[in-house]
């Protein structure tokens, strides 16, 4: 078994290999020509080897890079190809919400299978139903696990876990299992269109509480910023946000900088979060983005697969 990484995920791949000394980081060269064409080449034999490739599908270039690496691996005689995609892009396109629109996550599943991916490891799909789009094994890891220890280390009293909308209720309820003394609240949100909120109302008592908002992704942070205002107006002491994927697109950094949110805790499933956190810290002088690595969660999963052990315990809170 050998681990390889995409152009932007060498940092995560190295951390995964450091967690388990029997993991080997393979030698893969990925050339990018001046016109943007991608050419991957394995610089060592991978014949009859189980290949694990670390690369999130956070942009079209990363998806194309993954497809070409799969093709190169299959042509080089690898035994199996497991794609470790901590963040699966297009997962918000899991159904046709608009007339004559695409279903991006289904198309991505078909393309990856056709290219030759034998197994997918991912963290917190936007909709767990996306697993059904694949005809290969999908290992769906719980993104709450890496962040729980950090929240516990803060030793916050009067904790309240908040779901920012109806879609996050299950994820927030799952997070509550690690904090049995915490209260639970919900924000009922109505949208006019994507990334634009019409109204919000709070369901539950947050007076005198330290708030942890739990969601699967931090995108423009418009919802988080407005939710924090609503919570503080209703008597909350502090507001922190926990999200698996730090997408941080559009005006996200500006929204965070101008909000009352103490910090946003995300996992390093998307490579660009490191640069964005550094940029915000340099610009505002505040360390408002806390990054927790998913390296150990992925390393333990790969180890269990290689030893043919159950992954159930790894994935439980």
How many other C-beta atoms lie within 10 A of the C-beta of residue 168? Answer: 21
d(CA 70, CA 87): 18
Instruction: Give the Cα-Cα-Cα angle 96, 97, 103 (nearest 5 degrees).
Output: 30
Q: Is the pLDDT of residue 313 over 90?
A: no
What pLDDT shows up at residue 138?
97
Q: Are residues 75 and 134 in the same domain?
A: yes
**Is 67 within a domain?**
yes
Q: Are strands 210-218 and 28-32 parallel, antiparallel or unpaired?
A: unpaired
**Is 137 within a domain?**
yes
CATH number of the domain within which 209 lies:
3.40.50.2020
Q: Structure pTM? A: 0.93
**Is 177 within a domain?**
yes
Q: Are residues 32 and 42 in the same domain?
A: yes
What pLDDT shows up at residue 2?
95
Q: Are residues 124 and 165 in the same domain?
A: no
Q: Is the pLDDT of residue 195 over 70?
A: no
Share of the chain above pLDDT 90, in %: 85
What pLDDT shows up at residue 191?
62
Q: Are residues 201 and 235 in the same domain?
A: yes
Predicted confidence band of residue 199 (pLDDT cuts 50, 70, 90): confident
Mean per-residue pLDDT over the chain, rounded: 93
Inter-residue contact 214 to 163 (CB < 8 Å): yes
The residue-averaged pLDDT of 133-137 equals: 97
Share of the chain above pLDDT 70, in %: 97
Q: Are residues 106 and 9 in the same domain?
A: yes
Q: Are residues 218 and 274 in the same domain?
A: yes
Predicted confidence band of residue 284 (pLDDT cuts 50, 70, 90): confident
* Radius of gyration of the chain measured on its C-alpha atoms: 20
**Is 313 within a domain?**
no
Q: Are residues 131 and 157 in the same domain?
A: no
**Is 151 within a domain?**
yes
Q: Are residues 178 and 70 in the same domain?
A: no
- Sign for the pseudo-dihedral over CA of 30, 279, 222, 202: positive
Q: Are residues 272 and 232 in the same domain?
A: yes
Q: Which of 189, 209, 226, 276 is catalytic?
A: 189
The residues that bridge with 37 in the sheet, in sequence order, are: none
Dump the DSSP string for the chain. Answer: -EEEE-TT-HHHHHHHHHH-TT--B--EEEEE-TTS-EEEEESS--TT-EEEEE----SHHHHHHHHHHHHHHHHTT-SEEEEEESS-TTTT-SS--STT---HHHHHHHHHHHHT--EEEEE--SSGGGGGG-SS-EEEE-THHHHHHHHHHTT-SSEEEEESSGGGHHHHHHHHTT-TT-EEEEEEEEEEETTEEEEEEEES--TT-EEEEEEEEESS-HHHHHHHHHHHHTT-SEEEEEEEEE---TTHHHHHHTS---EEEEEBTSTTHHHHHHHHHHHHS---EEEE--HHHHHHHHHHHHTT--STTTT--
Predicted confidence band of residue 193 (pLDDT cuts 50, 70, 90): low
Q: Are residues 149 and 285 in the same domain?
A: yes
Residue 151 in tokens: 């929240």
The residue-averaged pLDDT of 112-141 equals: 96
Predicted confidence band of residue 317 (pLDDT cuts 50, 70, 90): confident
Q: Are residues 226 and 261 in the same domain?
A: yes
pLDDT tens digit sequence for 23-71: 889 999 999 999 999 999 999 999 999 999 999 999 999 999 999 999 9
Domain count, the chain: 2
Q: Are residues 113 and 153 in the same domain?
A: no
**Is 314 within a domain?**
no
Residue scoring higher pLDDT (197 or 28): 28
Domain region containing 162: 144-293
What pLDDT shows up at residue 253?
95
**Is 226 within a domain?**
yes
Residue scoring higher pLDDT (196 or 9): 9
Least confident among 45-54, 183-192, 215-224: 183-192
* Residue 189 annotated to the active site: yes
The residues that bridge with 292 in the sheet, in sequence order, are: 267
**Is 316 within a domain?**
no
Q: Is the pLDDT of residue 286 over 90?
A: no
The residue-averaged pLDDT of 77-99 equals: 93
């Amino acid at each position: 078994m050998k681990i390889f990484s995409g152009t932007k995920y060498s940092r995560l791949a190295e951390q995964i290999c450091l967690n388990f000394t029997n993991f080997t980081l393979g030698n893969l060269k990925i050339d990018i020509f001046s016109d943007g064409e991608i050419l991957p080449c394995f610089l060592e034999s991978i014949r009859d080897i189980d290949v694990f490739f670390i690369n999130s599908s956070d942009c079209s270039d990363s998806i194309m890079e993954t497809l070409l690496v799969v093709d190169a691996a299959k042509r080089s005689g690898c035994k199996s190809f497991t794609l470790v995609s901590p963040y699966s892009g297009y997962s918000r396109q899991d159904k046709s919400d608009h007339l004559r629109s695409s279903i991006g996550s289904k198309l991505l599943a078909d393309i990856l299978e056709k290219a030759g991916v034998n197994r997918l490891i991912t963290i917190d799909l936007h909709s767990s139903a996306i697993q059904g789009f694949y005809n290969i094994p999908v290992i769906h890891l719980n993104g709450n696990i890496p962040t729980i220890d950090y929240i516990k280390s803060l030793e916050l009293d009067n904790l309240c876990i908040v779901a920012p909308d109806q879609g996050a209720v299950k994820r927030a309820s799952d997070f509550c299992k690690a904090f049995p003394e915490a209260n639970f609240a919900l924000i009922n949100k109505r949208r006019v269109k994507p990334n634009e909120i019409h109204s919000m109302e709070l369901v539950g008592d947050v007076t005198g509480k330290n708030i942890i908002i739990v969601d699967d992704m931090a995108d423009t942070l418009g919802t988080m910023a407005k939710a924090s205002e609503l919570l503080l107006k209703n008597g909350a002491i502090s507001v922190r946000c926990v999200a698996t994927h730090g997408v941080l697109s559009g005006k996200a950094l500006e929204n965070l900088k101008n909000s009352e949110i103490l910090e946003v805790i995300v996992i390093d499933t998307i490579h660009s979060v490191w640069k964005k956190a550094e940029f915000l810290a340099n610009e505002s002088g505040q360390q408002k983005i806390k990054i927790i690595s998913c390296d150990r969660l992925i390393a333990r999963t790969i180890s269990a697969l290689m030893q043919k052990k159950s992954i159930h315990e790894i994935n439980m809170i």
